[in-house]
Structure formats: structure tokens, C-alpha cells
């Protein structure tokens, strides 16, 4: 969901600029607003799409993740997951813990808000 919002703002900003339209400023403002909103949500272990679906990202210990882990997961880890034909995203279909490569990279799980992963319960 995040990429849809980002792509919309990006196309509005740069599509209007290329066509000589006045929508470029609106698109740039949307991009900046989205970036600020996403960064604020990263600090709480979620993204705009996950927040809309009632999900959050937690460390494998069950503890909340902070901004740095979310930034690495979302911008570096997801790039790695998509590197080989998106295999890192499809990995959740065969992984026993239902983790994509970007989750394994930073030892995180996506869970419903307020719950903890079963591995954290097993280690307790």
C-alpha cells in the first residue's frame, strides 16, 4: 500500500512537471507529507499500509522495533527481497515462520497490533 501512495504522489509531481502543468507543487507537497508521515510511523514500528491493516512489526523477542530497524527493513531489506525476481517477498509462502527475507535480515515479524510472535512465546 505504501508503494501505491508513493507512486501516485511521484507521478503527480513529476508527470505534471514534465507536462508543464501546475500540479508539480502539489505532488512535491504530497511526497514530503508522505515522507514525514512514514518516518513518524517508522518510529512506532509500523508503516502507513500496516497501520491501515492493524499490523505492526516486532523484534523476534516480541519487543517493539524502533526507527533504525524499520528504516533498514523497509529501505534496505525490501530492496534485497526484490533483488532476485521478488523471491524474497514470496519466501513467506514456504518459510515456517512466515518471514520474508527483509524480516529475516533484521530479525522481525509482522503481527497484528498488540500480539507477539510465537517464537517469542516459545523462548519465554
pLDDT tens profile 13-59: 666 555 566 666 777 777 788 788 888 888 888 888 888 899 999 99
The C-alpha atoms of residue 69 and residue 51 are separated, in whole angstroms, by 17
State residue 115's pLDDT score: 79
Q: Are residues 71 and 12 in the same domain?
A: no
Q: Is residue 47 part of a domain?
A: no
Q: Are residues 99 and 58 in the same domain?
A: yes
Q: Are residues 58 and 118 in the same domain?
A: yes
Q: 81 lies in which domain range?
A: 53-124
Whether residue 93 has pLDDT greater than 70: yes
Would you say 70 and 102 are in contact if contact means Cβ atoms under 8 Å apart?
Answer: no
Classify 18 as helix, strand or coil: helix
Q: Are residues 37 and 57 in the same domain?
A: no
Q: Are residues 35 and 81 in the same domain?
A: no
Q: Is residue 25 part of a domain?
A: yes
DSSP string, the chain: -HHHHHHHHHHHHHHHHHHT-THHHHHHHHHHHHHHHHHHHHTTT--HHHHHHTEEEEETTSPBP-HHHHHIIIIIIHHHHHHTTTHHHHGGGT-TT---HHHHHHTEEEEETT---HHHHHH-
C-alpha cell of residue 74: 523497509
Classify 112 as helix, strand or coil: strand
Q: Are residues 32 and 57 in the same domain?
A: no
Total count of domains within the chain: 2
Would you say 63 and 49 are in contact if contact means Cβ atoms under 8 Å apart?
Answer: no
Q: Are residues 26 and 73 in the same domain?
A: no
Q: What is the mean pLDDT of the chain?
A: 81
Whether residue 101 has pLDDT greater than 90: yes
Q: Are residues 63 and 16 in the same domain?
A: no
Q: Is residue 115 part of a domain?
A: yes
Q: What is the pLDDT of residues 49-91, one digit of tens each?
A: 888 899 999 999 888 899 999 989 988 998 999 999 999 999 9
pTM, entire model: 0.71
Q: Are residues 8 and 65 in the same domain?
A: no
Q: Is residue 48 part of a domain?
A: no
Amino acid at each position: 500500500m505504501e508503494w501505491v501512495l508513493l507512486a501516485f504522489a511521484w507521478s503527480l509531481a513529476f508527470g505534471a512537471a514534465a507536462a508543464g502543468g501546475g500540479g508539480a507543487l502539489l505532488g512535491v507537497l504530497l511526497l514530503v507529507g508522505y515522507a514525514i508521515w512514514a518516518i513518524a510511523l517508522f518510529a512506532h514500528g509500523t508503516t502507513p499500509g500496516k497501520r491501515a491493516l492493524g499490523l505492526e512489526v516486532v523484534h523476534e523477542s516480541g519487543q517493539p522495533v524502533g526507527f533504525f530497524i524499520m528504516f533498514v527493513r523497509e529501505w534496505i531489506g525490501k530492496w534485497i527481497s526484490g533483488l532476485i525476481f521478488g523471491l524474497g517477498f514470496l519466501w513467506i509462502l514456504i518459510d515456517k515462520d512466515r518471514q520474508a527475507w527483509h524480516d529475516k535480515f533484521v530479525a522481525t515479524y509482522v503481527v497484528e497490533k498488540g500480539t507477539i510472535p510465537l517464537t517469542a512465546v516459545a523462548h519465554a
